Structure 1
């Protein structure tokens, strides 16, 4: 019996669309107006970019800038390039195969392998949620003086904010995210102007140097930056939310969707690169330049910004950007959790139940750390969460690169030779770096 076209190359036929409640809900104009089509596809890239500027980036970028000046700018640049390639593959998988990455894994791998991948992904989402909690908690303390422990509890109620946004429609979520990103952008633009960084050292920092790998601590931070930049759950998220667009599910329609979705993704990630680089540049131009090379703590960074820059607004903008970052990441983390659970094990919970499960998993270690170790403990957790994300990244990238390079699954949209080689090179680099990181961590070389 001949298989249906939709199931060619897959063990199982995909019966349910990803995020069925918003599937194909955003209209795309039928006419040939390029700008109108680009506007219709603008949004998913911004939701993805959020994951590249979440609170987890702050700790690693601040530590990198304070200790090594502008040197690790090259790591952010390379990580962002990796992200652009990988997110392109993710959106292409979703458009061509009409499956998100979680559904694709379930429909390709045996049940046991799929289950293991699901567990690993849930761990990474919990680690990401932990970073969001800590970021929001620290911002609440900086802005309003709310104690860390109480801040952790307050973050549990943001499930209701998520439900409100979801009830308004997907375009509404994208608009809220765009507004929060704009807030972050304005805050860091002010900080960069105030810190007066040096242009030539910045340009020099974008070029990689051997010292990054030779120094074990800079290498450790570099992997943290990689984990904070290329987010594994973003690959699942992007392959799903791109299907919210109502484009023709034909060969020509899919070509058009891939084109405009890639433009949206690339521009959004370029914005994320600017914000990531801004955090490190501000840290280098203030703390490293002033000799505060041991600053690796968001709270310490906030305390030192005002006296160093001589402006009382510096700390306010810093905390406001941190709060916007944490809340933004909360939105996308919720969607990613829903996509992963529904895609891997085909179990649907009500959004508020799913959100509470994920949040409670992250709240427990955050609460313990805040009570036992205080602010220092939460900051250490923030860096550890990024290392977990980096290690998990390999288990998301390998299936993605494998699926998009399979001509039976992708048909005429299969990765070309150059893209296929580039994708596997990126994959090998990430896997090897993570193995080296794990080896150093186990030996206590940090």
Structure 2
């Protein structure tokens, strides 16, 4: 790669990230803590969506059914990683007033930027693939619409996106928040009826060495990591944090970082509960009853009601899945727009950008659904999360690099403890992904 390094930010006249909504949401200058927090709340929920999208469901169900509560510790660790990385993403957006894609274009040479853009587009396509399949499965479960038709119907969400984008950014945040509440309510109900063993749940939060030693467990663990820490979320968060109209001076930026980090941390705790709930539900319902081969969302749906003896259990599960798939389409659109504009400085109309991304995801999903049916789409869902995990390093390394550079960040540069922690997280992600590659191509 040609690292054409420019230490400090260039003083170019780059357009603001998402210029149509830049600094469009007012923050009270002398308001109370809660008023300011509510003004900054919103981007965190949009980021949290990426941590509970349909791709998580397949990996969490497979992990819970096969290995009980053991992989709950991986969900927790992944969430802690996410909190640290999203904080860095907030810092970059607020301090540099650039999203991660713009920062890469500013720092690296054209060849490196082009490669990073390609990797990012692959990640967004993999994520969109998960949304397409997840929404199609939910439509199939709730309304018995064939998978192939369900996949075709999901392309219509382009119109939904257009409608929302024309009504302002707060409107999009409200829709996202509402759908998250539906998912949360569904899983609170699922946890109550599945009655998991509390001691086993708490034990599952403690990491076990078996996770590293068992190749099958490690494969799903890395899939959970890929499904939890989403590469496109790092680009998205560094952009949408700039929608707030805070003072662009040192004190204003310091306050923005504080409240935006609080917003994302609270939202990610919510995402941890939902992710953990999916795995706990699978462990309590399937693993403990000997149904360890359940890795399919269809099988999970069919077996929940009879095993738990609650007719609503399966319906609540499918409603949450549909809400999850629809929510993810909103944030995926914005991330795609940010990445293309940031890396290439190409500005497409949102509907055209969305249509291109969606078609890239719909075509392989349709082919697999037609040829292999339910089983094929589930395997494609898990594979999409492994692909996401593989792309993660290419977003994390530049983010940690930029926020650890004193010349770029000034007094906001990462403090030694945060810097070391961020590089350790990056190292763990890279090592796990290399191991996954090795197991995929050379393992037994």
- TM-score bracket, normalised by the shorter chain, equals over 0.9
Instruction: Say whether the 8 Å CA contact 1:11–1:109 is kept in structure 2.
Output: no
1:130 corresponds to which residue? 129
> Do the aligned residues in 2 keep the contact of 1:28 with 1:40 (CA within 8 Å)?
yes
Q: What is the CA distance between 1:191 and its match in structure 2?
A: 0.4
Runs of 4+ in 1 over 4 A off after TM superposition: none
1:15 aligned partner? 14
Say whether residues 1:443 and 2:438 are aligned partners. no
CA contact (8 A) 2:142 2:318 kept: yes
Counterpart of 2:193 in structure 1 is 194
| Deviation sequence 1:372-418 (CA, Å, 0-9, x none) | 00011100000000000001000000000000000000000000000
Q: Distance in 2 between matches of 1:48 and 1:302?
A: 27
Partner of 1:385: 384
User: Partner residue of 1:420?
Assistant: 419
Tell me if structure 2 keeps the 8 A contact 1:12–1:107: no
1:36 aligned residue: 35
Matches within 5 A, 1:298-377: 298-377=297-376
Matched residue, 1:279:
278
Other structure's SS at 2:288 match: helix
Structure 1 position 303, deviation (Å) = 0.6
**Counterpart for residue 269 of structure 1:** 268
What is the CA distance between 1:132 and its match in structure 2?
A: 0.2
Corresponding position: 1:45 with 2:19: no
SS where residue 114 of structure 1 aligns?
A: helix
Alpha-carbon separation, structure 2, partners of 1:384 and 1:11: 39
Number of the residue aligned with 1:91 = 90
In the alignment, which residue of structure 1 is the partner of 2:99? 100
* Structure 1: runs of 5 or more not aligned: 1-6
Other-structure match for 1:258: 257
CA distance in 2, matches of 1:411, 1:368: 51
Q: How many residues are matched?
A: 439
CA–CA distance in structure 1, aligned partners of residues 359 and 119 of structure 2: 17
Change (3 A) 1:444 1:141: farther
| Root-mean-square deviation (Å) | 0.9
- 2:318 is paired with a residue of what secondary structure? helix
Deviations 1:269-293 (A, max 9, x none): 0000000000000000000010000
Aligned to 1:4: none
Match of 1:3 in 2: none
Residue 14 of structure 1 contacts residue 103 of structure 1 at CA under 8 Å; is this kept in 2? Answer: no
SS of alignment partner, residue 330 of structure 2: helix
Farther-moved stretch of structure 1 (13-22 vs 332-341)? 13-22
Give the C-alpha shift of residue 8 in structure 1: 7.2
SS of corresponding position for 1:10? coil
Partner in structure 1 of residue 236 of structure 2:
237
Q: Within 2, Cα distance between the matches of 1:163 and 1:444?
A: 46
Tell me if 1:185 matches 2:203: no
Cα distance in 1 for residues equivalent to 2:18 and 2:320? 30
* Number of the residue aligned with 2:3: none
The 3 A distance-change label for structure 1 pair 428 and 167 is same
Contact 1:228 1:389 in 2 (8 A): yes
How big is the shift at 1:32? 4.0
Deviation, structure 1 residue 312? 1.1
Q: In the alignment, does 2:116 pair up with 1:117?
A: yes
TM-score norm. by structure 1 comes to: 0.98
Deviation, structure 1 residue 26: 0.4
Contact 1:53 1:229 in 2 (8 A): yes
Whether 2:98 is the aligned partner of 1:72: answer no
1:146 aligns with 2:145: yes
User: Does the residue aligned with 2:30 lie in a helix, a strand or coil?
Assistant: coil
3-state SS in 1 of match to 2:433 = helix
The Cα shift of 1:443 comes to 2.1
- Give the distance between the partners of 2:154 and 2:14, measured in 1 at CA: 36
Q: Residues of 2 paired with 1:413 and 1:382: CA distance?
A: 39
Contact kept, 8 Å, 1:180 with 1:328, in 2: the verdict is yes
How far has the Cα of 1:444 moved from its partner? 4.7
Q: Take 1:337 and 1:296, find their aligned partners in 2: how far apart are those partners?
A: 30
Task: Tell whether the 8 Å contact from 2:7 to 2:107 is kept in structure 1 after alignment.
Answer: no
> Which secondary structure does the structure 2 equivalent of 1:290 belong to?
coil
Deviation track 1:56-103 (CA, whole Å, cap 9, x = no partner) reads: 000000000000000000000000000000000001000000000000
Q: Secondary structure at the match of 1:102?
A: helix
Q: Contact 1:41–1:261 (CA<8 Å) still a contact in 2?
A: yes
Distance in 2 (CA, whole Å) between partners of 1:422 and 1:14 is 34
Distance 2:13 2:327 in 1: 31
Instruction: Give the whole-Å Cα distance in 1 for the aligned partners of 2:14 and 2:74.
Output: 41
CA distance in 1, matches of 2:7, 2:337: 26
- Give secondary structure in 1 for the equivalent of 2:166: helix
Q: Quick one: distance in 2 between partners of 1:10 and 1:379?
A: 44
Q: Deviation at 1:12?
A: 6.2
Q: Does 1:203 align with 2:202?
A: yes
SS at match of 2:153: helix
Q: Structure 2 regions of 5+ residues with no counterpart?
A: 1-5
1:60 aligned residue: 59
